[in-house]
Amino acid sequence: MTAVLRMPAPARANLPGHRVVLGTEHELRLDCGIEFGPFALAYQTYGTLNAQRSNAVLVCHALTGDQFVAEEHPVTGKPGWWSTMVGPGRPLDTERYYIICANVLGGCMGTAGPMETNPATGKPYGLDFPVITVADMVRSQKMLIDHLGIERLFCVTGGSMGGMQALQWAAMYPEHVFAAVPIASAARHSAQNIAFHEVGRQAIVADPDWCGGDYLSQGKRPQRGLAVARMAAHITYLSEAALHRKFGRSLQDRQKVTYGFDADFQVESYLRYQGSTFVDRFDANSYLYITRAMDYFDLAAEHGGVLSRAFTGTKVRFCLVSFTSDWLFPTRESREIVHALNAAMANVSFVEIETDKGHDAFLLDEPELDKVLKGFLAGCAEHAGLDR
C-alpha cells in the first residue's frame, strides 16, 4: 500500500479545549462491573452558558469523531466535523446555545482510553483498559454535566453512535434532558454492522505491529491494519449511488489500466487516502474499544426486549432523522424507535431526508436537515421557556 505514513503517536498533551478529572469522589461503575476512576474527560465548548444554565446542548460524536466539533482540528487542520451545524446562526446556534462536546470514554483525544497511561503500571493501558459501553460513555458525560453545574440539558444530539448516546441519555436520564435528536442512528447495532466492525478489528489485530495491543510500549503502531479498517468502514458510510457519482470507473492519473495492483481507479486512490490520513489522528486500540461499545448497544435488551419500556412516561421531546440512502443505519431502524416512542406516548417528530450521500449525509451540508433541526429546536426552545 502506498502513502501509509510512519508517524509518531499524535501528541495529545497540548490539545486545545478543556480536560477535567472526574470520578475522584465516586468512581464510575462500568457495565463490565469495574469501578473506574479517577479518569480524565476532554471536552470542548462553544457559546455561553446562560444565567439559568438552561441553554446547554450536548453534542455526542460518532465512532471516529472527537470534541472538536466546530473549529480547526488540532491534528489534521481540517474544519470541525460538524462546523456546518454548529456556529453563529447555524441550527446549533452558538449565539443562543451553549454547545458541549466531550471525547468519548475509550477515545484517543484526551479522554481516558487505551492510549492513556495506566496509573497502576505507568505504561499505556492497551488492552488493560476496561471494555466500555455506550451507557458508560453517557454516564461519564453525566458526570461532566454535573461538574459543570447543569441540571438539565436543553438538547442532546448526535449522528450514528452520537445518536445512540442521545437515545441512551433520554432513556437513562429523562429528567435531565429536554429534547433528544438522534440522527441516522438505531436502538441497537445490527448483525450486519457488527460484521463490518469485526472486519475492521480483524484487520487491526492481523497487523504484526499491533503487538497483541501493546504497540505503544514497543514503539510501533499498526497503521496498515487501522488503515484497512478505515477503508472498509468508509465504504459503508457512502452509498453505491454516491460512489458512482463521485468516481464512476474513472482512472487515477492515467489513460488506461496498468494490468497491476497499483491504484488504477480513482475510488481505490480515494480509499487509500482516507485510510492513510485516518491513522495520523486515530488510535488502533481506541478503534477496537469504540466499535465494541457500538456492537454491544441494544437499548431494548436493558428493558426486557421491549424498546418502548425504555421511554415509559418520558417527557423528553424527540426528533429522529434518517436518510434515504443510508444502508448502515437505514430508515427502518429509526422508524422502529418512532414506533416505540409512539407506544410510550412520547412527543416525537420523525423526518426521512432524501439524499444519495448515504450514512455520511449527517456530516455533510444538507439544507433539509438544517431546516428541520432549526425548526424543531425553535419549537422546543419556546416550550422550554428559553429566552432569546
Partner 1 sequence: MPLDRPDLATQAPMRVDLQVIADMIQPGSRVLDIGCGDGALLEYLVHFKQVDGRGIELSQAGVNACVSHGLPVIQGDADTDLKDYPSDAFDYAVLSQTLQATRDPRRVLQQLVRIGKRAIVSFPNFGCWKVRLHLSRHGRMPVTAALPEKWYNTPNIHLCTILDFVELCQEIGIYIERGIAFAAGGKSWPIRSKRAANLMSEQGLFLLRRR
Which residues does the annotation mark as catalytic? 160, 326, 359
Among 34, 172, 232, 343, binds partner 1 (CB under 8 A): 343
What's the CA gap between 134 and 297, in Å, rounded?
6
Our finding on whether 374 is near partner 1 (CB under 8 A) is yes
Looking at residues 13 to 32 of the shown chain, list those that interact with partner 1 (rule: CB under 8 A): none
Our finding on whether 218 is near partner 1 (CB under 8 A) is no
Closest approach, Cβ 242 to partner 1, in A, equals: 19
DSSP code, position 325: T
What's the CA gap between 299 and 222, in Å, rounded?
33
104 closest CA partner among 187, 166, 186, 171:
166
Among 9, 342, 364, 387, binds partner 1 (CB under 8 A): 342
Among 345, 364, 365, 387, binds partner 1 (CB under 8 A): 345
Burial-class residue 309 by CB neighbours within 10 Å (0-12, 13-18, 19+). middle
98 closest CA partner among 137, 142, 52:
52
Our finding on whether 351 is near partner 1 (CB under 8 A) is yes
- Comparison of 289 and 323: residue with beta carbon closer to partner 1: 323
Query: What residues are paired with 58 via a beta bridge?
Result: 100, 156
Site string for partner 1, 354-373 (x = CB under 8 A): x-------------x--xx-
H or E element, residue 36? strand 35-36
Our finding on whether 352 is near partner 1 (CB under 8 A) is yes
- Comparison of 109 and 386: residue with beta carbon closer to partner 1: 386
Our finding on whether 380 is near partner 1 (CB under 8 A) is yes
Contacts of 319 (CB under 8 A, 6+ apart): 179, 180, 181, 348, 349, 350, 351, 372, 373, 376
- Comparison of 96 and 292: residue with beta carbon closer to partner 1: 96
Our finding on whether 383 is near partner 1 (CB under 8 A) is yes
Our finding on whether 52 is near partner 1 (CB under 8 A) is no
Applying CB under 8 A, which part among 203-211, 260-268, 289-297, 376-384 lies near partner 1?
376-384
Report the greatest alpha carbon distance in the chain: 67
Closest approach, Cβ 246 to partner 1, in A, equals: 25
Applying CB under 8 A, which part among 20-28, 166-174, 203-211, 347-355 lies near partner 1?
347-355
What's the CA gap between 345 and 331, in Å, rounded?
21
List, in sequence order, the alpha helices (H) in the chain. 134-147, 161-172, 191-205, 223-237, 240-246, 266-281, 284-296, 331-343, 367-384
- Comparison of 184 and 353: residue with beta carbon closer to partner 1: 353
Our finding on whether 379 is near partner 1 (CB under 8 A) is yes
The residue assigned the cell 446556534 is 93
Q: Which residues bind partner 1 (CB under 8 A)?
A: 308, 317, 319, 335, 338-340, 342-343, 345, 347-354, 368, 371-372, 374-376, 378-380, 382-383, 385
